Chains A and B, each alone.
Chain A
Amino acid sequence: MNDLSTNWNATPQAGVGRRLLTRLTGSGVWRSVFRHGWIRTNRDRALTIYSNVFLHIHPVKVRKSALPFRVTFCLGGLSLALFIVLTVTGILLMLYYHPSAPRAYEDMKDLEFVVSSGVFLRNLHRWSAHLMVITVFLHMLRVFFAGAYRPPREFNWVVGVMLLVLTLLLSFTGYLLPWDQLAYWAITVGTNMAGAVPWVGDEIRFLLLGGNTIGENTLIRFYVLHCVVLPLGIVVLMAVHFWRVRKDGGLARPL
């Protein structure tokens, strides 16, 4: 027991609830996980943040002047929320989807006709993806017009641009997975654009397609990119992004 909980010792006057809470936050299991008791002082608040991997990217204090809607338009938060929706629906969709040429389109049809709420799931994923691209763009515009890319936030602007690119790439790779005509030709056009890069264009195109034309190799490549590589990358960059918001002086506030 450390001294963090001493001033929370249950007194005979304390109610049953308070006594239970004190007992819970004082237990060995609680302490092994959270390392601190009930929050009462600013120090407790700081400790909570410092000792938690999820919370430590969040500022200990947020100024009220940074919170009004017209300052942030919640665009970053909306993007994160949509990303979470996409992750959840995406994982559920992965349960029904085979990234193989003969099955991919048939799985779309099964989602449409026989999977419980399959249409809902797929449409939710699709519309969230469209919305995320939009909110990420608007977020960038907001940051730009607010001049929030200026030092000391210049590195976070760069991270933000990388996140934008990753968001677009996630949309692009997901576009192929339904394996219909729209998907096929969109990826044909997209990879041909990559092929137009001077000197190494053909190599990039070959790398993306896993061959010279769209086929099973392309499908599996895009599937792995869409479900593993790009989401991992975006999560890591998002962590850096949020952490830097705090480190660079907090949310949307003139320095």
Chain B
Amino acid sequence: MAPLRLWLAFAIASVLMFLALAISPVRHVFPEWKSIQKQYNQLAAERYKMGQDVRPVEIGLRQLWNPDLGVVDRCTTCHLGIDNPELRDAPEPFRAHPTTPHRLEEIGCTVCHRGQGRATTTEAAHGATKHWESPMLPSFYVSGSCGSCHRERKPPETYTVASGRRLIQEANCAACHKIPGFSLERKPGPDLSDIGDKVRPEWLYRWLKSPFDYLPESKMPDFHLSESEAAVLTSYLLTFKKKSPEEAAAGRQWEQALLNASDEEIEFGETRYRELRCVSCHAQEGRGGKLGPDLGKVASKVQPAWLVSWLENPREHYPDSIMPQYGLTEREKKSIAAYMVSELVDYDADPDEDDKILELIPEPDRAVMAEGEELFRQYGCAYCHALTGHEVRGEFGADLSEIGVKDIDQLDFGNTKIERSLVQWLYTKMKIPRIFSPDLRMPDYHFSDEEARQVTAALLSLTGDNIPPKYLPPSPDPPSYSPSGPFNRILEKYQCLSCHSIRGVGGEIAPDLTREGSMAKPEWIARYFELPYTLRPIMTERMPILGLTREEIETAVSYFQLVLVDDSIPREIFLSPPDRSMVETGRRLFYEKYGCQACHQVNQQGGYVGPPLDGVRNRLYSGYIYEWLLNPQRFIPETIDPNQGLTPEEARAITAFLYGLPPAGGSQGGSR
């Protein structure tokens, strides 16, 4: 028989063992979420006494389940008030979810917020745990999740993702990276085959060294080249020329002529430069249009001879240039060039520094050429610029198709001290692209903090194919518009679709012309081509005077009337002139009921936001005015003209009133 002491020790050890084993089951009886649910029930009782419709809940686990999306979200175990609008002001975790078009009980929480839906403790659910790859997104970046389903370029549902995608497009990320939804349609940088004829050496060096110093809104990123790299690359690039020696000699003569131009010529050039509204596309020192390059310091950049030949015919230099081909006379070309050469100069440039730079640039001998070639390849210049003999194949940078769900373990944080999260990594990468390793080649886009956040959100939306197709919003038919024949030649020559769009194809800075034939009358369109004016007083004039020939105008106008029409819009709604009482009703509705004069001018009185309406019958068809009044957003979804919910009778009466308005003074049919 063992001694009593041994039995005692055995007994104590057994009890201790039992207690140790009991810890886990006991902990399960008192979990964190139960006390949170009890807190909720207290809150509910208080609110109920105050007369709000907040009911206590039965203590127990809750979950949202959607097998298609792989969602098992137990978030609602603690977040008990998300669907109760009475709890909009309640403290977390009981606050109501902001209104959303999605049914929360259908799609769950983690689809948008991420985190660990199955978890039932605060820490694990919010995902701040080791080995959980998708912690909750910071609230700003939740909109990135919108983009996982709303995959179009400009999802109207989320401003952040739309802005991020616009930046991705502008920065041309898709040139080097594989990004779903983006493809390299055309190289955004200019063709470099004649760069040696085009620019000044000192400018090229400065530009390569730090493009943002020359042009703060430069589209070309900063590659952080060293001085010698920039000098070698300058020397290498300047060897690409197209002009023969004779042409170059002729060019030098031109240059002399331009530099010796008389003041009258320069003044004439300046006048034409303004009249042609060059600034609509070309800004000066950041002010003006953004379609073309900033011309504020162009004389310090390009060689004068090149400028003249460019004005001659842009497409001879670059076949796919978006610059319209103006019908300029010899004198106009020379005067405009003379004006640009003498006035649009970088006055801050230091001539001594120019000399120093010129000394830095080496002679393009064999070694320099080889080194330049290597730099050109190494930095992937050919992904944005065409240069004969430098075709690109395959992707240069990382595949970003699933960057939004990249594992943290696969990210290189280098020596940085930033938080180990995907969001922080992406944001930091956008701000300082080469921070994680000196070997990285990604250039610096000088994104602002806001822009870097937007790009990060757009990148977070790239989650691969994790959403089943039935949850994806129907993608709108890809726009297709491919005209041919004489009208297409006009579109090509004047690059109309750089600014205007037709059936979803084209630019966005000028009105959509898809229904122009149902909207505007042909006589007005013809006059507008001769002298475009702005319809809205608060806008500056933007449409350039393109100088269309009479035949071209006829072709365009008849094309508008025959093709660019919408049969659901009647041309005229009045078979006979409307009677006086209807016009009077319309007048009262216009001035008294709807107060349209707050934005529109009639007879020199009224607001400045909308177009003046004097003589609108000369411009628009009555059918279009009527349809517009019924629902302005039908034609321009983002128009600020409010949809007042007019009855058809009211719309008809207002149309009758507007149709009777005489033109204000001039015979142009507009306000000027």
A132–B18 alpha-carbon span in the complex (Å): 21
Q: Is A248 an interface residue (CB 8 A)?
A: no
A contact patch SS = helix
Per-residue contact bits, chain B 511-525, to A (CB 8 Å; 1 contact, 0 not): 000000000000000
Q: Is A155 an interface residue (CB 8 A)?
A: no
Residue among A110, A117, A119, A181 with max Cβ neighbours from chain B (10 Å): A117
A106–B28 alpha-carbon span in the complex (Å): 19
Q: Is the CB of A106 within 8 A of B24?
A: no
A11–B667 alpha-carbon span in the complex (Å): 140
**Which B residues lie within 8 Å of A180 (CB)?**
131
A106–B116 alpha-carbon span in the complex (Å): 11
Per-residue contact bits, chain A 54-92, to B (CB 8 Å; 1 contact, 0 not): 000000000000000000000000000000000000000
Contact of B118 among A102, A110, A116, A181 (CB under 8 A): A110
Shortest Cβ distance from residue B136 to the other chain A in the assembled complex, whole angstroms = 16
Contact of B120 among A106, A113, A181 (CB under 8 A): A113
**Which B residues lie within 8 Å of A144 (CB)?**
none
Residue among B72, B118, B119 with max Cβ neighbours from chain A (10 Å): B118
Question: Which residues of A37-63 have CB atoms within 8 Å of chain B's CB atoms?
Answer: none
In the complex where A106-B118, A114-B61 touch, is A119 in contact with B124 (Cβ < 8 A)?
no
Question: Which residues of B45-72 have CB atoms within 8 Å of chain A's CB atoms?
Answer: 61, 70, 72
Q: Is the CB of B24 within 8 A of A113?
A: no
Q: Is B474 an interface residue (CB 8 A)?
A: no
In the complex where A106-B118, A113-B118, A113-B119 touch, is A119 in contact with B24 (Cβ < 8 A)?
yes
**Which A residues lie within 8 Å of B124 (CB)?**
113
Per-residue contact bits, chain B 18-59, to A (CB 8 Å; 1 contact, 0 not): 000100110010000000000000000000000000000000
Q: Which chain A residue shows the least CB distance to B125?
A: A113
A179–B253 alpha-carbon span in the complex (Å): 77
Shortest Cβ distance from residue B77 to the other chain A in the assembled complex, whole angstroms = 10
A181–B133 alpha-carbon span in the complex (Å): 11
**Which A residues lie within 8 Å of B61 (CB)?**
114
Question: Which residues of B63-99 have CB atoms within 8 Å of chain A's CB atoms?
Answer: 70, 72, 74
Q: Is A109 an interface residue (CB 8 A)?
A: yes
Q: Is the CB of A106 within 8 A of B72?
A: yes
Q: Is A120 an interface residue (CB 8 A)?
A: yes
Question: Which residues of B99-137 have CB atoms within 8 Å of chain A's CB atoms?
Answer: 116, 118-121, 124, 131
In the complex where A109-B118, A110-B118 touch, is A117 in contact with B28 (Cβ < 8 A)?
yes
Q: Is the CB of B118 within 8 A of A120?
A: no
Q: Is the CB of B25 within 8 A of A113?
A: no
A6–B70 alpha-carbon span in the complex (Å): 72
**Which B residues lie within 8 Å of A117 (CB)?**
24-25, 28
**Which A residues lie within 8 Å of B70 (CB)?**
102
Residue among B28, B116, B124 with max Cβ neighbours from chain A (10 Å): B28
**Which A residues lie within 8 Å of B116 (CB)?**
109
Per-residue contact bits, chain A 99-126, to B (CB 8 Å; 1 contact, 0 not): 0001000100110111011011000000
Q: Which chain A residue shows the least CB distance to B72?
A: A106
Q: Which chain A residue shows the least CB distance to B63?
A: A114
**Which B residues lie within 8 Å of A120 (CB)?**
21, 24-25
Q: Which chain A residue shows the least CB distance to B70?
A: A102
A112–B131 alpha-carbon span in the complex (Å): 14
Shortest Cβ distance from residue A72 to the other chain B in the assembled complex, whole angstroms = 17
A117–B25 alpha-carbon span in the complex (Å): 5
A213–B31 alpha-carbon span in the complex (Å): 41
Shortest Cβ distance from residue B408 to the other chain A in the assembled complex, whole angstroms = 12
Q: Is the CB of B24 within 8 A of A109?
A: no
**Which A residues lie within 8 Å of B25 (CB)?**
116-117, 120
Q: Which chain A residue shows the least CB distance to B409?
A: A181
Contact of A109 among B21, B28, B119, B121 (CB under 8 A): B119
Question: Which residues of B110-166 have CB atoms within 8 Å of chain A's CB atoms?
Answer: 116, 118-121, 124, 131
In the complex where A106-B118, A110-B118 touch, is A116 in contact with B28 (Cβ < 8 A)?
yes
28 A–B pairs (Cβ distance < 8 Å), ordered by A: A102-B70, A106-B72, A106-B118, A109-B116, A109-B118, A109-B119, A110-B118, A112-B119, A113-B74, A113-B118, A113-B119, A113-B120, A113-B121, A113-B124, A114-B61, A114-B74, A114-B118, A114-B120, A116-B25, A116-B28, A117-B25, A117-B28, A119-B24, A120-B21, A120-B24, A120-B25, A180-B131, A181-B131
New A-B contacts (12) at CB < 8 Å, excluding given A113-B121, A114-B120: A106-B72, A110-B118, A113-B74, A114-B61, A114-B118, A116-B25, A116-B28, A117-B24, A117-B25, A120-B21, A120-B25, A180-B131
Instruction: Give B contacts to A, CB under 8 Å.
Output: 21, 24-25, 28, 61, 70, 72, 74, 116, 118-121, 124, 131
Instruction: Give A contacts to B, CB under 8 Å.
Output: 102, 106, 109-110, 112-114, 116-117, 119-120, 180-181
